[in-house]
Structure 1
Amino acid sequence: RELSSLQALQERVKSFYSRWASWTGRDIIDPDMPPRRIWDLYANRVLPSWVTPERPWGISHAWVDEKHRKDVWTPINGNEWPVPMPNDADLDLIRIEMLNLGVEYAWLDVLCLRQEGGKNEYLHVEEWAIDVPTIGSVYDRDRAVVCYFCGLGRPLIFEEGYFESDRCWFNRAWTLQEVPYTRNGGTQTVVCGETGDEGRKEEEIRTRFDEQLTSLRHMRHDSSVLAVLSEMQKRVSAKPLDKVAGVAYVIGVQWLPVYNMAQSEEGAWRYLVEAMYRDTRADLFFYYPEPGNRTKRWRPSWKQVMTQTLPSSDEAKAIGDIDIYMLPFSEIVLHCGPRIRLGEVCGLADQSHDEDPRRGELVVKDRTGAPQRIKVVANHQYQIPEGLYALIGNNDADVFMKYWVLGHQRKYNRFEKLSVIRIADEDERRKLQELEVAERHSKVILL
């Protein structure tokens, strides 16, 4: 649908203002802002997205190895930058395939996202700061997603070792946010490059392909931060920073951190945690079994979440909230919920040989000073020495006081995490609540 001259001017001003207003210098306020450019397949030109109110179809593809790529200069993008293409692929043939699918507007990274080596290279860093973090929104709509699983414009031929290759679509960091998905289940996958040569596609390979794609859709639907991070562990990227940027849109955030090429992974992870929703942060606090090994103890470092086996989120809904308040030169991380000032944890000092959940006890004193024992479970192998600890519990009503973080109380109402336990048995949780040894709405600063 074409716009009138007045509408086009209005959309151009709106698009410019939206990008300007959405960028604070460190954050992108609107994670769902439209892409900067789209590929108009009828005109065969890359145009600013404000020319049409329609959202483009996303084209996802596996990047082939650099030695199998060529740089193509094309009038489609106004010869603004060289377009990286597989040696045996052709943009004209890709366009024909898209038109045959009924696509009018598409988004293809090599055409619509500024690549290195163009005549306006100085714009590269500036544009990527906003355009890279918001790529995920292109694939998070009701439009179908077009996928080239064996390379852009290349036939769908699963060669031996495809799933183990670093170039496999399922193994690339950036494609995690390109998994076809919408929250109402409307997105479909259009598999391109199919040749009909079933002899080249073994049935068992195709079955594995379908299973992996289905598994990824389930992961996107659940949006569990731990599941997303576990999936990213398996993937590879050209730059380590790309893994952090690649999970941001998928886990769901209040705002998106900009893509800063000079930033470290830990620095980018810190900004991402700040941008997370309160309940997402709580998952890191209550489920991850160890203290952070960098500047923060309450949540894991990026190195930890990329190198260690992560627990699963047992609950389908949020179990708590953690707020972060930004100060000029620091931040305050605050949790409000149940707190036991002092309790003894027993029976969890040794690791389980069969890696089954370890069972122990939490001993608290009732109003008369008599010890009361509560059965607890540790679904991990991190050692918890027997001793006295302060404990912080989750505050969701459905699983109230089921999940606990134990640690040490420090000066000025600050809490240092050591590990996590849970009271799996509902009767045991009810017993603890009836003892009234836990403060129900206690505010604690997390270190």
Structure 2
Amino acid sequence: MDDRIVAEMEAQFRRLLAEPDGRQDTGHAPRSEPHAPLPVIFELFPLAKKVSVPKQIRFKGPGALPNELAKISCQRLGRQRLLNALNDIHGTRYTLDPKESHLSWQLAICISKGWDLGTAYSHMRPRWQAKDFGGPLIEDLDFGDIDVYNIAARAARAIGRRDQSVFTDPFGVLCYIPPRRVWDLYSNRVIDYGVVELWEDTSGLVWRISHSWVDASELRTVMTPINNFQWPVPIPADVDLEQVRIELLNAGAQYAWLDVLCLRQSGLEEHEELRKKEWRVDVPSIGFVYSPPHRSRRPVEYGPVACYFNGLGRPFVLEEGTLSSQRHWLNRAWTLQEHKHDMITLGLTPASPTRAHARHSAVVRQFYERLDMLPSHPPPNIFAVLRSMQPRAAAKPTDKVFGLAYFLVTPRYPHGVPAYLENEDPEAAWLRLLGAMEQRYRLDLVFLFPRAGDGKVAWAPSWKQVMYCDLSALAAAPATDYRHTHFLHERVSNFMERLPDFVADFIPDLIKDPEEGLLSQPVLQLVSERHVKKILDATGQLFTRGYAVTSCIVRGLGGLPAVGAPRRGYVQIAGNTVEVRVAHRELIPDGEYALVGRDGVTSEVWVVAKLVQQDRRRFSGSTLWIRKVSVLLMTTDSRLKLGSLDPGELMSLRFT
């Protein structure tokens, strides 16, 4: 940085950098005049000499501490000069008199921890804004006794949930936990999210940064005080983090979530196990950072999503071949969940393409068309988001599975998203995601996908089928409203009434009286919607309830007609024949099957399945074990005929 700029900064902040000015740190100082001074105005400049993005060249304003000042040791300053510095930054006149003993105590903690000014500023700034210096710093919180602080309790619960998930829950991650860390752009330090939430209303303050990762040959790693040198930060070789910081400050951001700074990265062998533990929770919950679930118990309100399409800090350009690169933002697995229709584009230059340029450039037109086609949240059906994921690239195959979690899981279940296991087989990860996703998306797989799964379960396609089958037609299908069918889980009270029967199917050794189907009292205490769901998910079976015909004969769908000709067949039910058709090219050999209607007896869409077992239980009535073969469609006349025949019944279904 230019010596002149450094000299100007030192002049602006001379009280901090100079030797003591005669004021002694006696434990208190007299209050100054009632009129508070204005905060110091700082100027920030990037390290790079040539910067093509105008908003990255300079930031001027109060509160944003230059790096040269942020790295000054609090121990060097002492308590009085540390207070002077923070007063100058905020434009306040707090003193060390006994009436403000909490403030003196907080400053002493900053010094004793060996923090630099930037770290102290990041922890004290929310308190300064709230004008509240009581209570402990976030590192000193005793979560067992935190209830005395109303605001602190929220942060403690959030941090406690996350840490508990990291170390104790092998199955899933709560959807509604806030991020572990955020980047304080004013102090240029990464801090625990709880530091901010503890004392400040975070609504709209934390921006979410989305970016594509450049090729490894174009990356460099830097050790930086921004994250307290906890891990090497990978960034494009032609960009420095100060450019990104300046652009975000110019855009109006105060805090930001940026993966390279807030998500522990690899590179330090001694912290590798900790990184893996954190990633189990932090990676699958990234999608909810970019768009928190509105149905969560405690929704978190964030600021905008801001995007670097060509790489972190790089200019937004579109050239021939840009969109075909596997490294482009549109082609990466993780960025699918980061898309928002109102997100802000960063890296803008005078040459950056706008929608108006689409009329004159095929590349620009293709970019905005693909951007507009990205699935919304929630997607109309599961195939819309699966189709969008198919062509995308990922560093690890499992990443594509977890990149779907944000779209498909429901925040209402206690365990939420499956935990991230980076070396897990994609098929195993997909099976776990099937167990966590919303019921309506599972039903889309059952009723819309025309093939039986060739993996562990037949009711859902395997991950290989998901990635390589043509899903274009299914992705365009309208959303199905299952709310008025019997397939969605009923109220928990009704759900619990049937627990003895289907828990007995999996853990018969826990039954106290097999004839009555009762569970021992300790088991009843453990059994809840969550635990039963884990038992069911472990088997890979799908439990639901719907209208089924246990026996019928399907004919005429075992071959393929000439190209373009409609495929029609017949179903014999209860001595009557009805016409059916199919909109796919999967073969259904002539034979005896069970049928399950999506919308009851007059349903258009039916699953064709092989009957595995039928059982009648005292509490839950008929239970049908079935294995999916394919799907078919009833014609209008056939639906009316079935409605008058009513050949089936409502029963519990077990798809294997």
Q: TM-score, normalised by structure 1?
A: 0.89
For the pair 1:351 / 2:560, whether they are aligned, the reply is: yes
Aligned residue number for residue 605 of structure 2: 403
The question of 1:6 aligning with 2:135 is answered yes
Decide which structure has greater strand share.
1
User: In the alignment, which residue of structure 1 is the partner of 2:187?
Assistant: 43
8 Å CA contact 2:570–2:577 kept in 1: the answer is no
For residues 331 and 148 of structure 1, do their structure 2 counterparts lie closer, same or farther at Cα, with a shift above 3 Å needed?
closer
> CA contact under 8 A between 1:355 and 1:380: conserved in structure 2?
no
Aligned to 2:349: 195
In the superposition, relative to structure 1, how do residues 219 and 287 fare at CA in structure 2: closer, same or farther (>3 Å)? same
1:360 alignment partner, SS class: strand
Q: Per-residue deviation at 1:199? A: 8.4
Structure 1 residues 251, 352: CA separation in 2 closer, same or farther (over 3 Å shift)?
farther
**5 Å matches for 1:221-236?**
221-236=378-393
Q: What is the match of residue 524 of structure 2?
A: none
CA distance, structure 2, for counterparts of residue 130 and residue 35 of structure 1: 10
**316-325 vs 106-115, which moves further:** 316-325
Q: 1:169-188 to 2 correspondence within 5 Å?
A: 169-180=329-340, 188=342
Q: Retained in 2: the 8 A contact 1:37–1:113?
A: yes
> What CA deviation, in whole Å up to 9, does each residue of 1:258-296 have, x standing for no partner?
001232111111111111122221111111111111221
Q: C-alpha distance in 1, partners of 2:380/2:240?
A: 36
The amino acid across from 2:256 in the alignment is A
Describe the superposition over 1:86-109 as per-residue Cα deviations: whole angstroms up to 9, x where unpaired: 111111011000001000010110
**Post-superposition offset of 1:353:** 4.4
Q: Is residue 416 from structure 1 mapped to residue 609 from structure 2 by the alignment?
A: no
Contact kept, 8 Å, 1:219 with 1:227, in 2: the verdict is no
- Which residue of structure 2 lines up, in the alignment, with residue 97 of structure 1? 247
Cα distance, 1:352–1:179 mapped onto 2, change above 3 Å? farther
Pairing 1:371-386 to 2, within 5 Å after superposition:
371-373=576-578, 375-386=579-590
SS of residue paired to 1:376: strand
Aligned to 1:435, which of 632, 635, 645? 645
Change (3 A) 1:238 1:360: same
Inter-partner Cα distance in structure 2 for 1:29 and 1:75: 30
Structure 1, 100-109 or 312-321: larger mean CA deviation: 312-321
1:208 and 2:366 correspond? yes
- Displacement, 1:246? 0.6
What SS does structure 1 have at the residue aligned with 2:465? helix
2:598 alignment partner in structure 1: 394
Match of 2:207 among 52, 57, 61: 57
Deviation sequence 1:147-176 (CA, Å, 0-9, x none): 100111011111221111111111100101
Q: Which residue of 2 aligns with 1:185?
A: none
In the alignment, is residue 240 of structure 1 matched against residue 397 of structure 2? yes
For residues 450 and 252 of structure 2, the distance between their equivalents in structure 1, rounded to whole angstroms, comes to 50
Residues 227-270 of structure 1: per-residue CA shift (max 9 Å, x gap)? 11111111010101111111011223341000012321111111
SS at match of 2:404: helix
SS in 1 for 2:234: strand
Match of 1:389, SS state, is: strand
The residue aligned with 1:161 is 321
Partner in structure 2 of residue 78 of structure 1: 228
- Does the 8 Å contact 2:381/2:478 carry over to 1? no
* SS of aligned partner of 2:377: helix
Displacement after TM superposition at 1:124 (Å)? 0.7
C-alpha displacement at 1:121, in angstroms? 2.8
- For normalisation by structure 2, the TM-score amounts to 0.62
- Report SS of the residue matched to 2:126: coil
| SS of aligned partner of 2:644 | helix
Q: Which amino acid aligns with 1:2?
A: P
- Tell me the matched-pair count: 431
- The alignment-based identity, stated in percent, is 38
> 1:116 — aligned with what?
266
Q: In structure 1, what residue type is equivalent to 2:480?
A: K
Q: Which residue identity lines up with residue 411 of structure 1 in the other structure? A: Q
Larger Rg: 2
TM-fit CA distance, 1:404 = 0.7
Q: 2:426 aligns with which of 239, 259, 265?
A: 265
The residue type paired with residue 344 of structure 1 is I
Taking the aligned partners of 2:173 and 2:213, their CA distance within structure 1 comes to 30
In structure 2, do the counterparts of structure 1 residues 215 and 331 end up closer, same or farther at CA, with 3 Å as the change threshold?
closer
| 1:229–1:305 Cα contact (<8 Å) kept | yes
Partners of 1:275 and 1:78 in 2: CA distance: 36
- Distance, in Å, in 1 between the alignment partners of 2:284 and 2:194 is 19
RMSD, matched Cα: 2.5
Counterpart contact for 1:56–1:138, Cα < 8 Å: no
The 8 Å contact of residues 36 and 49 in structure 1, kept in 2 or not, is answered as yes
Deviation at 1:361, TM superposition (A): 2.6
Q: Distance in 2 between matches of 1:220 and 1:410?
A: 37
Cα deviation for residue 410 of structure 1 reads: 1.6
Greater RCO (Cα-Cα under 8 Å, separation 6 or more): 1
CA contact (8 A) 1:352 1:381 kept: no
Q: Check 1:416–1:14 CA distance in 2 against 1; reply closer, same or farther (3 A cut).
A: closer
Tell me the alpha carbon deviations over residues 294-326 of structure 1, each in whole angstroms, 9 at most, x when there is no partner: 221111111111111122373423346377844
Q: Distance in 2 between matches of 1:180 and 1:299?
A: 29
Aligned equivalents of 1:12, 1:199: Cα separation in 2 = 42
Judge conservation of contact 2:159–2:180 (CA < 8 Å) in 1.
Answer: no
Return the offset for 1:346: 2.7
Structure 2: stretches of 5+ with no match in the other structure: 1-124, 142-151, 293-301, 490-531, 615-623
Where 2:640 maps in the other structure, the secondary structure is: helix
Rounded Cα–Cα distance in structure 2 between residues aligned with 1:352 and 1:39: 61
Task: Tell me if 1:148 matches 2:353.
Answer: no
| Pairs within 5 Å for 1:237-386 | 237-253=394-410, 254=413, 255-310=416-471, 311-312=474-475, 314-319=477-482, 321=487, 325-327=533-535, 330=539, 332-354=541-563, 358-365=567-574, 369=575, 371-373=576-578, 375-386=579-590
The secondary structure found in structure 1 opposite 2:475 is coil
The structure that is helix-richer by fraction is: 2
**Per-residue deviation at 1:411?**
3.0
Q: Indicate if the aligned counterparts of 2:378 and 2:407 stay in contact, CA closer than 8 A.
A: no
> Is residue 340–residue 438 contact of structure 1 (8 Å, CA) maintained in 2?
yes
